Amino acid sequence: MDNYILVTGGAGYIGSHMTLALQAAGERPLVIDDLSAGLRSAVPDGVPLFAGSVGDAAFVGDIMDRYPIAAIIHFAASVVVPESVARPLDYYRNNTANARTLIDCAVQRKVPHLVFSSTAAVYGEPDRTPISEGQSTQPINPYGRSKLMVEWMLDDVARAHPLSYAALRYFNVAGADPDGRAGQSSPNATHLIKIAVQAALGKRDGLDVYGTDYPTADGSCVRDYVHVSDLVAAHIDALRYLRAGNPSVICNIGYANGYSVLDVIEVVKRVSGIDFDVRIKGRRPGDPAALVASNELAKSLLGWRPRHDDLETIVRHALAWERRLP
């Protein structure tokens, strides 16, 4: 295949796994990343990296003029739920307004397909779990709203222009490349499994549990943790699906398994064989009690076949990557 797959945010956690998976699939990835959270070193050798913002129309347009783009996979975003509560306008600018610029560039250059990183946060407090895609979307934090607005934009744009899209609503992405080539590298990451493995390895002085008074079995929040390699495989499946001429789709990516914060801590302690301090704190703003995916659509429509659906495996790979980091 001659044309490029543009990976925005390709120097970040998930994007760096995506470029590796694209290379393995025989595709030609090209990365745009402003390096606000990503690392240059996370982009594999031989993959062109353009440092700048997807919100800069002249910059993005110039790249698209020079490199024919077969599809865009749009990861670039601000990703921390409590930060979005404190700084909503930053999230609406980076996640919503900058996505609009990127989509506009794609429409002007007739890019045929776009895969969008959406999120389980669009559901808010779901009325039923596991959550299926038809359930109502009532996000309870600016992060979820900033992403839901992009889904709406894509829906309108796909009706008006020859662009088909897949909006993949990821549940909680975790773990690292099983071959040790990529992982979550940010020292300031806020994600639970990352923090727990850092605590196990003595990189943090323990872990705070944000709330044990939720309406869940043990009172802590429940999430559906999906291995990053299975997640990026879903994007390869989505590309294949769109290129086959199928209509746009919105699809959950998760395992339909819920684990509480206390479950995760127990697994990290057991897999690492290391005890660490756990402090029970109050709730964190913006957290829904439980988010667990129904994944029937991803399996039936995209042909998604998860291979690492096991919390111990996810934690083992996250630990292995954390040990390699300085």
Known catalytic residue: 165? Answer: no
- Please count the other Cβ atoms lying within 10 Å of the Cβ belonging to residue 81: 20
Q: Which residue has the tokens 């086959």?
A: 244
Binding track, positions 14-33, relative to ligand NAD; x by CB under 6 A: xx----------------xx
Residue placing its CB nearer to ligand NAD in the complex, 88 or 274: 88
Choice from 43, 79, 150, 314 touching ligand NAD (CB under 6 A):
79
Choice from 19, 84, 96, 117 touching ligand NAD (CB under 6 A):
117
Asked whether position 11 contacts ligand NAD by CB under 6 A, the answer is yes
Identify whether the C-beta of residue 117 lies closer than 8 Å to the C-beta of residue 17. no
Q: Give min distance, CB of 134 to ligand NAD, in A.
A: 19
Compute the chain's Rg from CA coordinates: 19
Token pair in block for residue 156: 């309108």
List the one residue out of 211, 207, 180, 215 whose CA is nearest residue 283: 211
Beta bridge partners of 131: 293
What residue ranges bind ligand GDU (CB under 6 A)? 79, 81, 119-121, 170-172, 190-192, 195, 207-210, 221, 223, 261, 284, 287, 291
Identify whether the C-beta of residue 182 lies closer than 8 Å to the C-beta of residue 301. no
Residue placing its CB nearer to ligand GDU in the complex, 70 or 189: 189
Choice from 27, 34, 177, 287 touching ligand NAD (CB under 6 A):
34
Asked whether position 224 contacts ligand NAD by CB under 6 A, the answer is no
Q: Cα 55 from chain centroid? A: 19
Residue 284 binds what, of ligand NAD, ligand GDU, none (CB under 5 to 8 Å, by partner type)? ligand GDU
Asked whether position 37 contacts ligand NAD by CB under 6 A, the answer is yes
Asked whether position 98 contacts ligand NAD by CB under 6 A, the answer is yes
Binding footprint of ligand NAD, residue count (CB under 6 A): 28
Choice from 25, 35, 158, 278 touching ligand NAD (CB under 6 A):
35
Q: Cα 172 from chain centroid? A: 8
Q: Give min distance, CB of 149 to ligand NAD, in A.
A: 13
Phi–psi pair at 169, nearest 5 degrees: -90, 95
Catalytic residue, chosen from 143, 214, 225, 259, is 143
Distance CA 221, CA 217 (A): 9
Distance CA 254, CA 179 (A): 22
Asked whether position 12 contacts ligand NAD by CB under 6 A, the answer is yes
- Please count the other Cβ atoms lying within 10 Å of the Cβ belonging to residue 264: 26
Residue placing its CB nearer to ligand GDU in the complex, 147 or 308: 147
Q: What's the 3-state SS for 17-57?
A: HHHHHHHHCCCEEEEEECCCCCCHHHCCCCCCEEECCCCCH
Asked whether position 314 contacts ligand NAD by CB under 6 A, the answer is no
Of 48-56, 209-217, 243-251, 302-310, the segment contacting ligand NAD by CB under 6 A is 48-56
Identify whether the C-beta of residue 267 lies closer than 8 Å to the C-beta of residue 193. no
In the bound complex, which residue of the shown chain has the CB atom lying closest to ligand GDU? 221
∠ CA 177-182-183, nearest 5°, is 80
- Provide the binding-site residues for ligand NAD, judged by CB under 6 A: 8-9, 11-15, 32-38, 53-55, 75-77, 79, 94, 98, 117, 119, 170, 172-173
Active site residues: 143
